[in-house]
Amino acid sequence: MKTKVFNYLLAILTVAAFAAAIVLRQDSTFDLALLADYKGMLVQGFFNAILYSVIVLIGSLIVGFIMYIMVKSNWGYFRSLADVLTEIIYGTPLLVLIVIMAYVIGPAFGTHNRTAMGLLAMTVYMAPYMTNVYKAAISSISEAQYMAMKLFGFTSYQKYRYLIIPQVVRQLMPPMMNNFSLIIKGSALLSVINRFEIFYVIKVAQSKTFAFLEGYIVLWILYLVITLPLSQLTKYIERRYGV
Amino acid sequence: MRLKIVNLSKSYDINVLKDISLSIEGYKSVAIIGASGCGKSTFLRLLSGVEFPDNGSIQVNDYNVNIDYVADYQKKIGFVFQNHNLFPHLSLKRNISLILEKTRNHTFEEADEKAAKYLTQFHLEDQMHKLPKNVSGGQSQRASIARALSIDPEILLLDEPTASLDPILTYEVLEAIKQLKNIGKDTIFVTHEISFVKDFADYVIFMKDGKIVEHGKPEILDSPKDVAFREFMTKVK
Ligand SMILES: Nc1ncnc2c1ncn2[C@@H]1O[C@H](COP(=O)(O)OP(=O)(O)OP(=O)(O)O)[C@@H](O)[C@H]1O
Ligand SMILES: [Mg+2]
């Protein structure tokens, strides 16, 4: 345990030293104060990034589950439909999907709420990945386990409550959290359609202050502030509840 | 035990059990042996009532094993699976106490106490708070036997309880099963351990290609009549 902590400290120091060396080798000086005027907007953008990501996470969990039911359906039509949608989504860059959704598909249904359509695009984009998460989690319960449940005489409710759902949730957690991380990073692309997205705020600030590199550095740090704790949490959950 | 099987058959995509009939009475531990794929596990599953035959009938002691009565019957049987098959998210103890609490009307405390008692009986007192993945194969399999016994079954079915274990763990589990003899439960078990069959069984059934080709007291192991049985015995020795 002690050596592990030590190794981690050493690794972090290495990275920090590397970062310091890079900073010292810069010709231009960084002035993060240039961005001070935009602090309020940045904070708002930061929280928006989290909010949007949570919405997409929940949405894609729901849509992904619907697609899972389609994949497992007895009706070939639903299986084929899920397959076709998945292939299209896999073949589409997220940025393209967001733009098409906001400017083509949305208006076709009479909506010009680009933010909503952008979030929908991300939701749809992530759904097949969530479907895979469900597939893996649910198939981890073996035939033999179902047989045991039946033999010991659990009722349907008890099976789900004490045996199936707890196992599925445990299996679901780590890959779901990884997807959440992908969503957070992907949310930067919403800046093409949304003015309150953090990446958009940075772009505006950059163009006004010419603090081009500073903008990216701040953005980078803000994303790390979200994703690093998240991945630690994921690891913790995996250790604590992993099967 | 009393076992009465009439014209039993079962198919999946292939014919697995082919018109099996058997009627025996008065034995306590019945061994089912035979080459891999001959239908032993399928036979045991039908005996347990988790699956039903396409044709034929099964009677075990006073129970007709069919859809109408299976729930009552299953309260009376303990089943040990080919791979321990404990619920992976529950500790060894909770694997047992959950069943007692939810399906046998025990209070939480009673269930907990009883689970600990059975695990201790199989020398797992130090392991009972661990998850199945954190104990050895032999320990899981012993816990699985403890679990099957904890519901106080009238009949115990064991499907190759040592299948995935090395020789030392196999010995460990077989010793645990021998304790069962003293408890006096009716046992039907599938195994590849012929020496264990000789030690423990008082009746032997040899299966081949979905049929029972020879059955009788353990002495039949020493002088098999059927050609396939003789061949099987030379291979497993
Ligand atoms: N649920 C199932 N669906 C389709 N085929 C099955 C199923 N269960 C068993 N079979 C087939 O039935 C045959 C007998 O299987 P079974 O598991 O009963 O054999 P076994 O004697 O227990 O073998 P082993 O010693 O390897 O455990 C095999 O050919 C197997 O592929
Ligand atoms: Mg088998």
Tell me the per-residue pLDDT of A98-116, one tens digit each, with 9 for 90 and over. 999 999 999 999 888 888 9
Residue nearest to atom 18 of ligand 1 (CA): B39
Band of the pLDDT at A79, cuts 50, 70, 90? very high
For residues A135 and A82, what is the distance between their CA atoms, to the nearest angstrom? 13
Of residues A18 and A239, which shows the higher confidence score? A18
pLDDT value of residue B104: 93
With a cut of 90, say whether residue A234 has pLDDT above it: no
Quick one: average pLDDT of A64-86? 94
With a cut of 80, say whether residue A217 has pLDDT above it: yes
Chain B residues whose CB is inside 8 A of the A162 CB are 98, 102
* Residues ≥6 apart with Cβ < 8 Å to B64: B57, B58, B73
* Residues ≥6 apart with Cβ < 8 Å to B36: none
With a cut of 90, say whether residue A195 has pLDDT above it: no
Residue nearest to atom 24 of ligand 1 (CA): B36
Residue nearest to atom 1 of ligand 1 (CA): B12
With a cut of 70, say whether residue A179 has pLDDT above it: yes
The phi and psi torsions of B205 (rounded to 5 degrees) equal -120, 125
Looking from the CA of residue B207, the nearest atom of ligand 1 is 21
Band of the pLDDT at A242, cuts 50, 70, 90? low
Q: Ligand 1 site: residues with CB under 6 angstroms?
A: B 12-13, 16, 34, 36-42
Summarised one tens digit per residue, pLDDT across range A46-71 is: 888 899 999 999 999 999 999 999 99
Give, for ligand 1, the residue of B11, B13, B16 to mutate: max count of ligand atoms closer than 8 Å to Cβ.
Answer: B16
Name the stretches of chain B with pLDDT < 50.
Answer: none
pLDDT value of residue B54: 95
Q: Where are the beta strands (DSSP E) in chain A?
A: none
Band of the pLDDT at A122, cuts 50, 70, 90? very high
The model's pTM: 0.78
Query: How many of the other CB atoms lie within 10 Å of CB of B52?
Result: 14
pLDDT value of residue B147: 94
Chain B residues whose CB is inside 8 A of the A167 CB are 87-89
ipTM for the predicted complex comes to 0.87
Quick one: average pLDDT of A21-34? 79
Kindly calculate the radius of gyration of chain B based on its CA atoms and give it in whole angstroms: 18
pLDDT value of residue B95: 96
Quick one: average pLDDT of A222-228? 88
8 A C-beta contact, residue A102 and residue A90: no
Which residue is closest to A157 within chain B, CA to CA?
Answer: B102
Cα angle for residues A188, A87, A95 (degrees, 5° grid): 20
pLDDT value of residue A24: 83
With a cut of 70, say whether residue A243 has pLDDT above it: no
B15: β partners: B11
